[in-house]
């Protein structure tokens, strides 16, 4: 690895950002850094690596006990990524690409966590993080142009830059159902799963939630539980994953071709290798359409999304595809009443994150698995013994919550982030999350987000977005150092223009037509609206690159002052 860009020069400068200083007063010792990184998932780990290679003094904080982000927490049975493993991995290190070998097309959580551990160990990244630590506040110090950061362990740090690599899905959400704290059986949360194995054998188990997480849990726990009760409110569309082991010949070819494959991924709308179509749904005959959908169903994964170009813009085309999936439910599920209840209706397919399964619908043919349709029979309360719906109480030994996340904005709103003039992110986002390029907010100098709201997060490969965002931030920091600049932030006009673009593009897609975490519909009192850039990852990259090339268009800088008081 190359020595860092700033390393030698700054190491000689005692007043350089990054030098430890002792300050007199209330806080006896304040650690002075260049960058505080929050989160040790894909974004945070890469940020630590990249900034260290630049010679920056960094400190990372992570609430979990180790690296991995969502894959550290989500240890529930059946947890698995829904993108091909070879796509869902870092591209920044050819060494890692060559040394790591994926075993399955869609890796399960233990393998994903092993990957994180491998990367962290191989690049010696753990030393930059303090684990089991939550940042509780980050406050901008206008006079000294730096962030003061506090943690729940009582630390106080000062840093020129803050990078919030907090991820779009890191604040799990309990259901708003009365009585949850009364339940005396074993309560399990998908997003905070125990580290030791959980046995369901002979147990009466309930699962609330049938998004990606609930579906993965149901098909796995259904095999083991004595009785499984699935409490379903909105049914999801799910398609066959068709997971398979990766053959060594194929892997060897992948390893030979990684650079080209990554370039294709970076140039695509989804930041991945999934083929996309330019064909409009009604441009081919009904028989051809049917054949294309059948082929995609057989191929598995998200192939269905790549069958036609207009599935997310043409409601009629979308409904045809939805009906195709409903017909598949009829083919698999033997009981017609259950089949009917499992069929999603009233929102476009793919407007909620499409789920991938291996035996979800088949699970309902098992005599021990019971679907509770909460539209017909809503939950009234959780009792000491189980779940009471309108029709009666279901007694349960274990209750699993797979009820989703306060997505995109939850993590940054969970602690106090205070920018210029005492303005908080809560204030700034009162009417909905705002940002410029999904990366920065007006009034919050030197504070960056990776995979932030109003970027393409959730709609494209999160690893590609994370790498892109960290590289861009690294470029900004290098530029500022060279130019002697102290602060960067977006102008209000640039932020407004970006938000107008995000809104205009969102009106062209059907993504706004379902009640999902994408639009904030799953969190009470959350401002509603699609805070995602729907123009595609390739366009997002182009727009970011153009802004940088154009002299950091849309950003305002301030020069370093002569003397900085300590
Ligand atoms: P999701 O997709 O947000 O799913 C959460 C599920 O929990 C969904 O079925 C909800 O039904 C259900 N839910 C939430 N609150 C309740 C209450 N009060 N009663 C009954 N059911 C409830 O989260 P996931 O964790 O599955 O997936 C998140 C992302 O991870 C996914 O998009 C992929 O990117 C991977 P509702 O829809 O609100 O009727």
Ligand 1 neighbours (beta carbon < 6 A): 169, 175-177, 208-214, 231, 233-234, 353, 374, 379, 402-405, 517, 522
What percent of the chain lies above the pLDDT cut of 90? 93
| Ligand 1 centroid, distance to 409 Cα (angstroms) | 16
10 Å CB burial of residue 346 (0-12, 13-18, 19+) is exposed
For residue 566, pLDDT beyond 50: no
- Atom of ligand 1 minimally distant from the CA of 215: 26
- Count the neighbouring beta carbons within 10 Å of the beta carbon of residue 491: 14
CA-closest residue to ligand 1 atom 4: 211
| Ligand 1 centroid, distance to 185 Cα (angstroms) | 22
How much is the average pLDDT of 181-192? 98
Phi, then psi, of 552 in degrees rounded to 5: 60, 55
Among 88, 167, 213, the mutation site with the greatest number of ligand 1 atoms within 8 A of its Cβ is: 213
Query: What is residue 561's predicted lDDT score, i.e. its pLDDT?
Result: 78
Residue that the structure tokens 């970006």 belong to: 498
- CA distances from residue 174 to 136, 180, 183, 192, 228 in whole angstroms, order as listed: 21, 9, 14, 11, 20
Contact between residue 285 and residue 315 where contact means Cβ atoms under 8 Å apart = no
Domains with residue ranges and CATH for the chain: 1-33 (no CATH), 180-401 (no CATH), 407-462+491-566 (3.50.50.60)
| Ligand 1 centroid, distance to 189 Cα (angstroms) | 12
| Alpha helices per DSSP H over 184-226 | 212-224
Query: What is residue 479's predicted lDDT score, i.e. its pLDDT?
Result: 98
Structural tokens at position 250 = 């194929």
Query: What is residue 275's predicted lDDT score, i.e. its pLDDT?
Result: 87
- Atom of ligand 1 minimally distant from the CA of 177: 18
- Atom of ligand 1 minimally distant from the CA of 379: 19
Round to whole Å and give the CA distance between 555 and 523: 32
Q: What is the pLDDT of residues 308-341, one digit of tens each?
A: 999 999 999 999 999 999 999 999 999 999 999 9
CA-nearest of 142, 135, 137, 158 to 25 is 158
| Ligand 1 centroid, distance to 124 Cα (angstroms) | 36
| Ligand 1 centroid, distance to 352 Cα (angstroms) | 10
Round to whole Å and give the CA distance between 167 and 453: 10
Query: What is residue 24's predicted lDDT score, i.e. its pLDDT?
Result: 38
Q: How many CA atoms lie within 13 A of 518 on its CB side?
A: 25
- Count the neighbouring beta carbons within 10 Å of the beta carbon of residue 414: 16
182 DSSP assignment: G
How much is the average pLDDT of 138-144? 97
- CA distances from residue 173 to 192, 266, 459, 553 in whole angstroms, order as listed: 11, 32, 21, 38
For residue 6, pLDDT beyond 70: no
Whole-model pTM: value is 0.94
Query: What is residue 562's predicted lDDT score, i.e. its pLDDT?
Result: 59
For residue 28, pLDDT beyond 60: no
Contact between residue 39 and residue 167 where contact means Cβ atoms under 8 Å apart = yes
Q: Taking all residues of the chain, what is their mean pLDDT, rounded to a whole number?
A: 94
Query: What is residue 10's predicted lDDT score, i.e. its pLDDT?
Result: 37
CA-closest residue to ligand 1 atom 31: 212
326 DSSP assignment: H
Among 178, 215, 233, the mutation site with the greatest number of ligand 1 atoms within 8 A of its Cβ is: 233
Q: What is the pLDDT of residues 238-255, one digit of tens each?
A: 999 999 999 999 999 999
CA-closest residue to ligand 1 atom 2: 211
10 Å CB burial of residue 391 (0-12, 13-18, 19+) is exposed
Q: What is the pLDDT of residues 366-415, one digit of tens each?
A: 999 999 999 999 999 999 999 999 999 999 999 999 999 999 999 999 99
Strand partners, 382: 387
Confidence category of residue 29, pLDDT binned at 50, 70, 90: confident
What percent of the chain lies above the pLDDT cut of 70? 94
**Structural element, H or E, at residue 411:** helix 410-413
Query: What is residue 1's predicted lDDT score, i.e. its pLDDT?
Result: 35
Residue that the structure tokens 């506090």 belong to: 150
How much is the average pLDDT of 474-497? 98
Query: What is residue 560's predicted lDDT score, i.e. its pLDDT?
Result: 87
């Amino acid at each position: 690895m190359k020595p860092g860009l700033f390393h030698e020069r700054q190491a000689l400068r005692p007043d350089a950002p990054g030098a430890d200083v002792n300050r007199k007063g209330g806080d006896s010792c304040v650690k002075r850094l260049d960058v505080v990184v929050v989160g040790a998932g894909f974004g945070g780990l890469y940020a630590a690596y990249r900034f260290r290679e630049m010679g920056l003094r960094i400190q990372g904080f992570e609430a979990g006990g180790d690296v991995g982000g969502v894959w550290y927490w989500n240890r529930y049975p059946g947890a698995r990524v829904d993108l091909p493993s070879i796509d869902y991995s870092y591209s920044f290190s050819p060494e890692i690409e060559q040394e790591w070998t994926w075993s399955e097309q869609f890796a399960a959580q233990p393998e994903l966590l092993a990957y994180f551990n491998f990367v962290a160990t191989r690049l010696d990244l753990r030393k930059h993080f303090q684990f089991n630590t939550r940042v509780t506040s980050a406050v901008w110090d206008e006079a000294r142009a730096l962030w003061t950061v506090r943690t729940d362990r009582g630390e106080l740090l000062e840093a020129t830059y803050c990078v919030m690599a907090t991820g779009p899905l890191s604040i799990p959400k309990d259901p708003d159902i009365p009585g949850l704290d009364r339940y005396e059986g074993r309560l399990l949360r998908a997003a905070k799963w125990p580290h030791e194995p959980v046995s369901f054998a002979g147990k009466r188990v309930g699962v609330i939630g049938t998004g990606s997480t609930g579906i993965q849990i149901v098909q796995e726990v259904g095999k083991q539980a004595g009785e499984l009760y699935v409490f379903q409110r909105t049914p999801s569309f799910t398609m066959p994953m068709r997971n398979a082991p990766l053959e060594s010949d194929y892997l060897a070819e992948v390893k030979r071709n990684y650079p080209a494959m990554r370039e294709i991924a970076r140039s695509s709308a989804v930041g991945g290798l999934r083929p996309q179509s330019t064909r409009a749904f009604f441009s081919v005959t009904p028989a051809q359409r049917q054949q294309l959908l059948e082929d995609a169903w057989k191929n598995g994964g998200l192939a269905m999304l790549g069958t036609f170009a207009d599935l997310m813009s043409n409601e009629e085309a979308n409904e045809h595809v939805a009906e195709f999936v409903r017909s598949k439910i009829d083919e698999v599920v033997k009981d017609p009443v259950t089949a009917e209840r499992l069929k999603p209706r009233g929102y476009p397919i793919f407007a909620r994150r499409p789920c991938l399964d291996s035996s979800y619908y088949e699970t309902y043919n098992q005599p021990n698995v019971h679907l509770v349709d909460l539209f017909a029979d809503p939950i009234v309360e959780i009792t000491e013994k189980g779940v009471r719906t309108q029709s009666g109480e279901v007694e349960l030994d274990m209750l699993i919550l797979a009820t989703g996340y306060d997505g995109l904005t939850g993590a940054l709103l969970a602690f106090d982030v205070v920018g210029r003039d005492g303005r908080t992110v809560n204030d700034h986002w009162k009417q909905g999350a705002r940002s410029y390029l999904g990366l920065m907010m007006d009034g919050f100098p030197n504070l960056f987000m990776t995979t932030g709201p109003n970027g393409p997060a959730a709609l494209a490969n999160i690893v590609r977005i994370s790498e892109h965002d960290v590289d861009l931030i690294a470029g900004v920091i290098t530029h500022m150092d060279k130019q002697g600049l102290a602060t960067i932030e977006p102008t209000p006009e640039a932020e407004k223009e970006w938000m107008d673009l995000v809104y205009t593009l969102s009106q062209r897609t059907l993504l706004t037509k379902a009640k999902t975490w994408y639009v904030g519909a799953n969190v009470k009192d959350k401002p509603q609206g699609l805070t995602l850039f729907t123009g595609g990852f390739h366009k997002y990259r182009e727009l970011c690159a153009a802004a940088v090339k154009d002299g950091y268009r849309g950003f305002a800088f301030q020069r370093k002052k002569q003397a900085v008081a300590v």
